[in-house]
């Protein structure tokens, strides 16, 4: 839900900070709710709750792509999508392995989320300061994409 606009970002119908909160809280709650219900009832029927919760993260990530790509970075959506995929895979592999190594398997999604935010922010700083994209929302957008 956006209006067309030039560089500087198209206005959004929703506040990006609220979308970030909804995306993070909704997806994490869904992951844990599905896991807890499955283990409590000794079934795997409730696994779909995690998939439904992923919709929250997808909306958050789509909004981050919209905001960053509004600055006209060439190939735009495909390139930032590939960057997000790489950041997300690295964050998940690292976060879940750290959680297992420390013996906190159930904290894996939280550890992954924290690491993904930090990792995405660092990649955004590199893109802005070293590669000189000069996009004001690049750090925040990459952090959102990595967490999504």
Beta bridge partners of 2: 12
Residue 37 placed within a domain: yes
Per-residue pLDDT of the chain (148 residues; tens, 9 = 90+): 444 444 455 566 788 899 999 999 999 999 999 999 999 999 999 999 988 999 999 999 999 888 888 877 665 677 888 888 999 999 999 999 999 999 998 999 999 999 999 999 999 999 889 988 888 888 999 999 999 9
Containing domain of residue 22, as a range?
16-147
Q: Output the pLDDT for position 70.
A: 81
Residue 140 placed within a domain: yes
In whole angstroms, what is the distance from residue 9 CA to residue 99 CA?
Answer: 37
Residue 114 placed within a domain: yes
Residue 6 placed within a domain: no
Q: Output the pLDDT for position 5.
A: 44
Residue 8 placed within a domain: no
Quickly list DSSP for 61-106: HHHHHHHHHTT--TT-HHHHHHHHHHHHHHHHHHHHHHHHHHT-GG
Residue 1 placed within a domain: no
Beta carbons of 3 and 13 less than 8 angstroms apart: no
Residue 86 placed within a domain: yes
Task: Give me the number of domains the chain comprises.
Answer: 1
End-to-end Cα distance, the chain? 19
Residue 9 placed within a domain: no
The residues, ordered by sequence, that sit 6+ positions from 135 with a Cβ below 8 Å of its Cβ are 68, 71, 73, 127, 128, 141
Q: Output the pLDDT for position 43.
A: 92
In whole angstroms, what is the distance from residue 80 CA to residue 93 CA?
Answer: 20
């Amino acid at each position: 839900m956006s209006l067309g606009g030039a560089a500087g970002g198209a206005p959004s119908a929703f506040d990006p900070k609220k979308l970030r909160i909804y995306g993070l809280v909704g997806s994490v709650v869904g992951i844990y709710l599905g896991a807890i219900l499955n283990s409590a009832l000794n079934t795997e029927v409730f696994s779909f709750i995690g998939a439904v919760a992923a919709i929250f993260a997808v909306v958050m990530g789509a909004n981050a792509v919209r905001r960053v790509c509004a600055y006209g970075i060439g190939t735009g959506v495909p390139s930032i999508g590939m960057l997000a995929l790489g950041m997300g895979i690295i964050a998940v592999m690292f976060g879940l392995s750290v959680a297992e190594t420390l013996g906190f398997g159930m904290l894996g999604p939280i550890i992954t989320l924290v690491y993904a935010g930090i990792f995405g922010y660092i990649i955004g700083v590199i893109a802005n300061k070293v590669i000189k994209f000069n996009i004001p929302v690049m750090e925040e957008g990459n952090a959102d994409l990595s967490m999504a």
